[in-house]
Amino acid sequence: MSQISLPALLEPAWMPASMSSPTEPKKSKAQVFGARLFSTLTLWAVVTAVFMSDNVWAFLCALTLLGVFSVREYFQMTRKGGMPSQPKWGMLTGITYLVVVAVKIGKEGGGALDSLMAIDVAFVCLVVAGGFLCQLRRSIDGKNTVIEVSVTTLGFVYVAVLFSFLSRLLVLPVSSEEGVPGAWLLLWLIAVTKFTDMGAYITGSLIGKHKMIPHISPGKTWQGFGGALFFSQLAGCGLYALMPEKLAVLGGWAWVIGLGFVLSLLAVVGDLAESVLKRSIGVKDSGNTLPGIGGALDLIDSLCFTAPALYFCLRWMPV
């Protein structure tokens, strides 16, 4: 990333990029499949390597990198859609926040969880105060002045803060063992969330007839929603049956089933939330970080809703 000067942070950078560039030729199905296959294999190779390392820093680096790409894509979307925002300020604070959270968790482990809540509040205050500070050198531009600050703050909370809860889950189980105490918990969360997405897609494609929310996502059906709930239970209960000791933090079958339903509902909401964002801004894709698959934000949209829910349930409820 190029160096960012203070004057650059204060510049209005919400105008849409030039559309004069030639339209890219449409790729064939073979090219799309090849790109998707390459991205999928690369993604799984990275996930496998990180998981087998059993090193908390490897997990934190991978999650932080994914978060950085997602923050970048959010502000690229706002620029592409002509939505007033402060992308340079938003990316600077979002990336700094993700790095601070990762370093604190890496050094302190579970002991960092309480102090991270104070860091969350401090950074939100910084984003809002800094956002208004950026406006002081320019004349008021009607509603755009307030919209810039609001959209920037939304991006910070929606992407950076919510996604950071995946890193916190790594050290949530109280354990004296070396390695990553929450690695299996994170795997369980990702499996439940992604099986929800997969179940909705498969079931909706096969038997979907009744539209769920056509004004937001025309492809979503109630049949697909039912499939999402079923597949989430399949993943959650299946993994728990295979490794009950490693997932003992979930508290037993009643909690596994209950959390599975809650997380699947939130996964659907998270997916629809990004659809709302895209339609409001007027863009189709969040990015092309993973060729053939989509952007990093497309990959984590559901996790941004399920990770905080699982974290607070396990910390505050008598599981």
Distance CA 43, CA 290 (A): 9
Give the per-residue pLDDT at 32.
63
**HSE (side-chain half, CA atoms, 13 Å) at 311:** 24
* Mean pLDDT for the chain overall: 85
Which structure tokens are listed for 121? 């509040």
List, for residues 287-302, the tens digit of each pLDDT value.
777 776 678 898 899 9
Distance CA 52, CA 191 (A): 17
Residue 108: what residue type?
A: E
List, for residues 38-50, the tens digit of each pLDDT value.
777 787 788 888 8
Instruction: Report residue 211's pLDDT band, with 50, 70 and 90 as the boundaries.
Output: confident
Q: Tokens 């939100």 sit at which residue?
A: 124
Instruction: Report residue 1's pLDDT band, with 50, 70 and 90 as the boundaries.
Output: very low
Please compute the mean of the pLDDT values over residues 247-271 and round it to a whole number.
93
List, for residues 99-157, the tens digit of each pLDDT value.
999 999 999 988 899 999 999 999 999 999 999 999 998 888 889 999 999 999 999 99
- DSSP for residue 251: -
Across 4-13, 75-84, 235-244, 249-258, least confident range: 4-13
Give the per-residue pLDDT at 116.
95
> How many residues does this entry show for the chain?
319
Give the per-residue pLDDT at 2.
39
Instruction: Report residue 97's pLDDT band, with 50, 70 and 90 as the boundaries.
Output: very high
Q: Has residue 14 got a pLDDT over 50?
A: no
Which structure tokens are listed for 33? 């499949």
pTM score: 0.84
Say what angle helices 183-207 and 253-281 make with each other, to 10 degrees.
60
Of 81, 111, 43, 75, the closest CA to residue 299 belongs to 43
Q: Has residue 284 got a pLDDT over 90?
A: no
Instruction: Report residue 4's pLDDT band, with 50, 70 and 90 as the boundaries.
Output: very low
Which structure tokens are listed for 163? 């996604």
Give the per-residue pLDDT at 317.
77
